[in-house]
Amino acid sequence: EAGVAQSPRYKIIEKRQSVAFWCNPISGHATLYWYQQILGQGPKLLIQFQNNGVVDDSQLPKDRFSAERLKGVDSTLKIQPAKLEDSAVYLCASSSRGPKTYEQYFGPGTRLTVT
Amino acid sequence: AQSVTQLGSHVSVSEGALVLLRCNYSSSVPPYLFWYVQYPNQGLQLLLKYTSAATLVKGINGFEAEFKKSETSFHLTKPSAHMSDAAEYFCAVSALTSTPLVFGKGTRLSVIA
């Protein structure tokens, strides 16, 4: 079974530029999460999708961040315009609807550096 | 609301020594508890989980953790450290299935030869 795929793995941009990250969850997983992991901290939820609907985006800075999950499969997270404090690793995770819905599987992450 | 406190941002042990990484949680409902490991430039890998069954949970790579409700703790242990155990370890809590994980700040484990 293929794992959670993310791209790109690394991205360097200047502040005020825009950037987009892509995530492909494990096949059949209905729930998709985006987490932000700042250096030296644990991951923090940005947004949770159930199929193509948003379940929780209370911690998403909506003035600059946006996310979508078209057709309930792939997801894209966008930042526009980026700030220095957005430098972090962006992790995508997915979970299934079966007996182990509490298990989240993580992708390798996208490391964003904003200069 | 849930929260996790990991005591010690950095733990250093000798190869072959006991590994003990501490995690205390706060939850208003019976929690699900997890330990994840993160190697450099990689994503998070699930080590073990507590989901209200047995309080002593065994995971991969020889790790285990014990859920102690009275102490609100879920400490991670391994009897004998190996060089390959050097990594960042995160404790996490969630309230229900399909809900986001709330992570601690992590503990970096170093293993000295």
Distance from CA of A82 to the nearest CA of B (A): 22
Give the tens place of pLDDT for each residue, A48-71. 999 889 999 999 999 999 999 988
- Are A112 and A6 in contact by the 8 Å Cβ rule? The answer is no
Percent of chain B with pLDDT over 70: 98
Numbered residues of chain A with Cβ closer than 8 Å to any chain B Cβ: 4, 31, 33, 40-45, 48, 50, 56, 91, 93, 95, 97, 101-109, 111
Q: Residue B43: is its pLDDT beyond 90? A: no
Q: Residue B40: is its pLDDT beyond 90? A: no
Give the tens place of pLDDT for each residue, A62-115. 999 999 998 889 999 999 999 999 999 999 999 987 666 678 999 999 999 999
Q: Residue B53: is its pLDDT beyond 80? A: no
Give the tens place of pLDDT for each residue, B62-112. 999 999 999 999 999 999 999 999 999 999 998 876 678 999 999 999 999
Q: What one-letter code names the amino acid at A99?
A: P
Distance from CA of A108 to the nearest CA of B (A): 4
Candidate from A56, A103, A108 with C-beta closest to B100 = A56
Closest CA to A5 of A16, A21, A18: A21
Distance from CA of B78 to the nearest CA of A (A): 22
Distance from CA of B48 to the nearest CA of A (A): 10
User: What is the rounded CA–CA span in Å between residue B100 and residue B6?
Assistant: 18
Q: Does B101 touch chain A (CB under 8 A)?
A: yes
**Mean pLDDT of all residues belonging to chain B:** 92
pLDDT at A1: 66
The torsion angles phi and psi of A53, rounded to 5 degrees, stand at: -105, 145
Which residues in chain B are closer than 8 Å to A4, comparing Cβ atoms? 43
pLDDT at B10: 97
The residue of chain A nearest to residue B33, with distances taken between CA atoms, is A102
Buried b / exposed e across B23-58, counting CB within 10 Å, b at 16+?
bbbebeeebbbbbbbbeeeebbebbbbbbeeeeebe
Task: Read off the pLDDT band of B33 (50, 70, 90).
Answer: very high
